[in-house]
A and B are shown apart, each in its own frame.
Chain A
Amino acid sequence: MSNAKNAIQSTSFLGNRRAVVLSFIFIAVIINSIFFESNSDTIFFGLLGFYIGVVFFYKLRSKLTFLFCLTLLIIMFIEYLVTGTSLRTEKTAVWFFLFMATGIVQQWKEH
């Protein structure tokens, strides 16, 4: 009984912090894009995997993923204008690719 109570409490804990969790992921991705030049597959797939888990947990729509694609596109474009095809621009492009792929799969499973 107490285990079930704890589970419900923790679910509510996460359920009430959806915005925080999503913000954490998005900020982590943006910081990784803008401030770090090196590529790490652990970070790419770790964060992406975490995001996919969050999508399932909160039953998020693909619109959110595409909104994030839009943000990444704008960041990538600014970096492209300022620094050309630098390592940062390329990294943001890879994030864009990964989130776009996620959004397409999400949209396929939706509706």
Chain B
Amino acid sequence: MFSLFFLKKYKLVLAISFLLFIIPFSWLKLGEMDLGGDSNRLFFYDPLSSLTSYGIYSVVPYGVGELSYGQYFIPFLLFLSFLKSIFISPTILIDIFNGLKFSGSFLFVFLIIKELLNIEDGKNLTADKYAAGIIGALFYTFSPGVIDNMGVALNTHILVFLNPMIFYLLLRYLITHSLKYVWAAILVTLIFSVSFSIHAPPIYAFYLLAIAFLLLYNFLILQKPIPWKSTSLMILLFLGLHTYQIVPIVSNVFDKGSQLNTRVFESTANVNLGLEYFNAILSLGKVSDHIFMPLAEKRLSWSLIIIPLLIILGFLSIKKKNKTLLLVGVFFLITLFLTSAKITNIGVEFYRKLYYIPGFGMFRNFYGQWQWVHTFFYALLAGLAISYLFFQMKRKYIYLTCIVAIGFISVRSWIVFNGDVVNFTQRGSQNLKVIIRMDPQYEKMLSYIKSIPNEGRILHMPFTDFVYNIVGGINRGVYIGQSMPSLLVGKNDFPGYQTIDPYSEVFVKLVKEKNYPLIKQMMALLQIRYILYNSDEIVSSTFFPAFPYGHTGTPTSQSQLREFVHNISKKKIYEIGHYSLYEVDKDQYLPQFYAVSDTYVYDTNPKYDVEYARALSFFPKDPLDKNKDSRIAFIDREICTKILSRQTCDQNNLHTDIKDIQIIYQRINPTKYKLVIKNFTKPFLLVFQNDFNPYWKLYPVNVSINIKNVSDSYYNGEIIELTPVNQAIDRNPFETNNIKSLYDNTHIQVNGYANAWYIKPNNFSEKENYEMIVEMTGQKIFYYSFAISLACLLIFLLYGIKLFILNRTSDIIKSRTL
């Protein structure tokens, strides 16, 4: 009965909401996808592959495999997999989420405005409140924060509807003290975990202010005591559920040298990067833009005054004190200050001081990070102020104003109705669209790459200036975004300049010199075995004359690309359509594990950029003599002294006889390898070509390795690589517990990024053959946290059932007494 009542009362709102939900279904034809951008959205295309490629393990599947806790994707990818099993088509999946962004944001902003108005004057919904609520909600839904960021949306863009939803649920909880609202809010944060990762700045930008508002609202207006006991329990349950992603990320924050650690504590460093970035982009903050809120298209710009004008007229029409309106007004001004950063010179200086607070550097991109919370409070202010204005007006004028305001908001946002919000030209291109229809031949290439039974990495050609992988569709659309071979197949690759660090500037230099022998040597040090060459004219400089090419200097025309690929590879091993996979000369390939024959000691030159040019300090000017063993390593002199004497390290070249040493290795999963070293009679440097991290450890075990599953052998059988097992879930996650790791104090960085251990046979008995497990122990942090989260999930679900039963019982009792 209540549901029918709700439907009748809010039929117009529900109708608008439904219309907004179905609009995105007209943007894409079946089979088309909008996947590109800075964020990875390939999960719409294949959520299960995404889960196995990067959702479970703490090592990224691209570049040199650095540590990164991406497990916050897990619930969301499972949810997407479930939806995909029903709807099958990625197009429909994308449409559903776009529809939710519009209809969800509209519905919940309306409900919030309605709730605030009802509480303020104690009356139920009237026509003026209804109309004002619709205007405020549409103002939010069609704001630049929602529309302008839709095309190449970041993962956090879903927050445009999740934020109002959660805010509404928490508001209802404060009003009714009914825990079902909090339970629902927690469930939403779990399902949409991708947007609630604790290292995403938009979460803090919205919820710090939203919760402050709710607390003040409760204190000043509701004036009800908060049930702290049950609230605390729900907070604990929330934290318990999200432990699987909170604990690993928090541990990463306190890891000195990690990116997160640098970001959070840079305010205390000599160079405050957050403040520097803020100063650099300060001129982009515009107060007037955040008052008039123009879309990027700037259509009907003369209509931009309507909403702010109605708000001021609303303030003028108030006859008695309205605490809710004033409180929302204060938060509107606070968010305007934060998102524009240009309110007087004193305001700017005060803003700069904020960057000395640890963690505030995450808001360096201030106008982007604060825009959603600003739009949110702006919309609430609009709804409330306009309702008080309407209260003073006759009905016919209310309807007229509504038609004018809604008409202008809708017409101004015409790109939503005609699909241009996602169907626009790819940046830097000659009239190519961002929407693609996947090329079946590229899918076959991805399948082939997946079947490769070794760990050789891939270099993409053409090579972009950033992290982007560029792939054409069969509909003259082009995908520019995160790499598909890594995120869908789990194969480490280098699509662009920013992925090949610290060799980025080395590569630029060598390409300019056309020094192919040294390019091959660089590729060996990065474990590059394959070149994925895309000969489609659509991804070349013919259609992309500037972006995303230009800086690196690698060939971008197809004729030059062909020549370049032939010069750095040995043979083509697979070709389909525009896509070819080339392999390098095996004699120049350095596998994942190798014993070092010659170590070159160097002094780091501080003039080179730490991130992209570090390798310039040591990379040789001349290619290695072909007669010499190519199993080399470069080590900084100061680091060398950690494992060898100063006298030894003062030499520039150290030679080790590794003739009889045999290494056999097998990948179990991205965070675990089995390793056998045979004929180990003298000390040597063992290199493991993954990003250096102290969490990588060696454990002595008795491992059984089946030598029959040989994938490849190198250096006349001195290194044998077995076919990877690639377990989706580790079957023995705790097998190295209670085993002491070896050689932690001789674990160093070599080659600018890789792991190496200086190991001596003394630590063992008289054995010559040693079995070890090489493990990324940071993964265990996730396992323990996941166990806690699973237990909390059980409690959470049982509690939800209890709430449901209690609610039903109370509804039945109420209906009987009535």
Contact = CB atoms under 8 A, between A and B. Distances in A.
Interface residues of B, number: 32
B157 interface: no
Interface stretch (A4-12, A13-21, A50-58, A90-98): A90-98
A96 B647 CA distance: 70
A74 B321 CA distance: 26
A40 to B, nearest CB: 8
A80 B304 CA distance: 10
Interface in A76-110: 76-77, 80-81, 85, 89-90, 92-94, 96-98, 100-101, 103-104, 107-108, 110
A60 B309 CA distance: 22
Interface in B534-563: none
B509 interface: no
B173 interface: no
Nearest to A85: B286
B326 A41 contact: no
B309 A90 contact: no
A76 B316 contact: no
A73 B330 CA distance: 18
Given A41-B345, A93-B287, A111 B321 contact: yes
B345 A39 contact: yes
A55 B210 CA distance: 32
A97 B336 contact: yes
A90 B333 contact: no
Contact of A77 (B292, B333, B345, B346): B292
B78 interface: no
B318 interface: yes
Contacts of A69: 312, 315
A77 B312 CA distance: 14
Interface residues of A, number: 33
Contact of A80 (B292, B312, B313): B292
A110 B315 CA distance: 13
Interface string A26-69: 00000000000001010011000000000000000011001101
B287 A70 contact: no
Contacts of B304: 77, 80
B315 A41 contact: no
B298 to A, nearest CB: 10
A111 B320 contact: yes
B288 A85 contact: yes
Contacts of A98: 343-344
A70 B313 contact: yes
Contact of A96 (B291, B313, B323): B291
A66 B344 contact: no
Contacts of B330: 104
B65 interface: no
Contact of B289 (A41, A62, A85): A85
A58 to B, nearest CB: 19
Interface of B: 286-289, 291-292, 301-302, 304-305, 308-309, 312-313, 315-316, 318, 320-323, 326, 329-330, 333, 336-337, 342-346
Given A74-B305, A90-B288, 5 more contacts: A70-B316, A80-B304, A81-B301, A94-B343, A111-B321
The 8 A-B residue pairs whose C-beta atoms are closest, nearest first, are A111-B321, A93-B287, A85-B286, A93-B288, A77-B305, A104-B329, A66-B315, A89-B288
Interface of A: 39, 41, 44-45, 62-63, 66-67, 69-70, 73-74, 76-77, 80-81, 85, 89-90, 92-94, 96-98, 100-101, 103-104, 107-108, 110-111
23 contacts: A39-B344, A45-B344, A66-B312, A70-B309, A70-B312, A70-B313, A73-B308, A74-B305, A80-B292, A80-B304, A85-B289, A90-B288, A92-B288, A93-B287, A94-B287, A94-B343, A94-B344, A96-B291, A97-B343, A100-B333, A108-B323, A110-B321, A111-B321
